[in-house]
Amino acid sequence: MSTPSTTPNWDNHSRAQANLQWRKQSAIMGQKVTDAIIAAARVAQGMQVLDIACGSGEPAISIATLLNGSGSVIGVDLSQGALGIATERARQRQLTNIKFQSADAHQLPFPDNSFDRVTCRLGVMFFNDLPRALREMHRVMKPGGKVVLLAWGPMNQPYFETTIGTVLRTVPGADMPESAKGMFAFGVPRSLAQKLIDAGFTTVEEKFSKEPWVWPGIPKDLWEYFQELAVPFAPLLKSIPPELRHEVDAAVLEAISRYYDGHEIKFTATVNITSGMK
C-alpha cells in the first residue's frame, strides 16, 4: 500500500503500543476469522505461501504452524511496528519456516510464479490501487496457485454498530470518514469476486461467512482497544466535541454491554471470503 496523505497512518507509535498492549485479546477475537481464511486456502505440506498486509502476524503464523516446519511463509506489510511484533511472535513459537519483511502490495519484490498460495486477511479493503495489487498477486502466484482474500462484510454488524454506529447516532452532524467508507466496500455481493475476475483469476468463488468475534474482557477495554486500533475511524473519533465525550462513551459502553455475559463480549463478524485460481 502506498501512503499518500489521504491514507490512514497504520505505522504510528501509539498504534504500535496498543498492538502490544492488546495483542492477546486481539488474537483471541480474530482467531475464528483467521481459521476461516486458512480453511479456504487449503494449505498443504511443502507449500510456499505469501501473506499480504499481515499486520502483527496473522494468518501467516498460523499457516506456518500448520505447515509444521515444511514449506515457507513470507508475511509482508508496510507497518514496521506490526512487523516487529509479528517477528517476535514467530520467534516465541520457534517457527523456522516463516519470515516477515516490509513490502508494498502494489509492487511485490518477488519473482513471477513464486507462491502456491497468497492470502490477505482484512487488508484488501485498504489498497489504494486494488486492480494493480491483484495483478501483482496473480503475477507472483504459481500456475494452479490460489489466492484467498478476506474482507469485512457490511457495516451493519455488532462490532461496528455498537462502536462507530453509536458515535454516528450520538454526535449531531457526524459522518463516516472517507478513510473508513472503503472498509465495507466488499459487503456488496460479487463486488470483490468481479475484481479478481478482472485481474485474470479463474474459478473465482465468494462466500459470506458469519464467524464468532469474541472479546475476552470487559466493554470498557474493548472500546479503548477500538479507539486505539481502528485507524480509518480516527478522524471521526477525534472530531467528537469535548462536551459530548462522556455521553458518547456511555452510549457505546451501553451498546457493547448488550453482548457481554460477565466474562466476554460475544459479537459475530460477517466477512467476505473470496478466492481465485491462476
Domain membership flag for residue 138: yes
Q: Which domain holds residue 72?
A: 13-154+181-216+269-277
pLDDT at 154: 95
Number of domains in the chain: 1
181-189: average pLDDT: 94
Q: Is the pTM of this model over 0.85?
A: yes
Average pLDDT of the chain is 92
pLDDT at 5: 31
Question: How far are the Cα atoms of 101, 189, 205, 233 from residue 110, in angstroms, in the given order?
Answer: 12, 32, 26, 33
Domain membership flag for residue 47: yes
* pLDDT class of 15 with cuts at 50, 70, 90: low
Q: Is 110's pLDDT higher than 70?
A: yes
Domain membership flag for residue 258: no
Domain membership flag for residue 161: no
pLDDT at 18: 57
Domain membership flag for residue 242: no
Domain membership flag for residue 230: no
Domain membership flag for residue 229: no
Domain membership flag for residue 172: no
pLDDT at 179: 79
* pLDDT class of 17 with cuts at 50, 70, 90: low
Q: Is 9's pLDDT higher than 70?
A: no
pLDDT at 13: 45
- The CATH code of the domain that includes 79 is 3.40.50.150
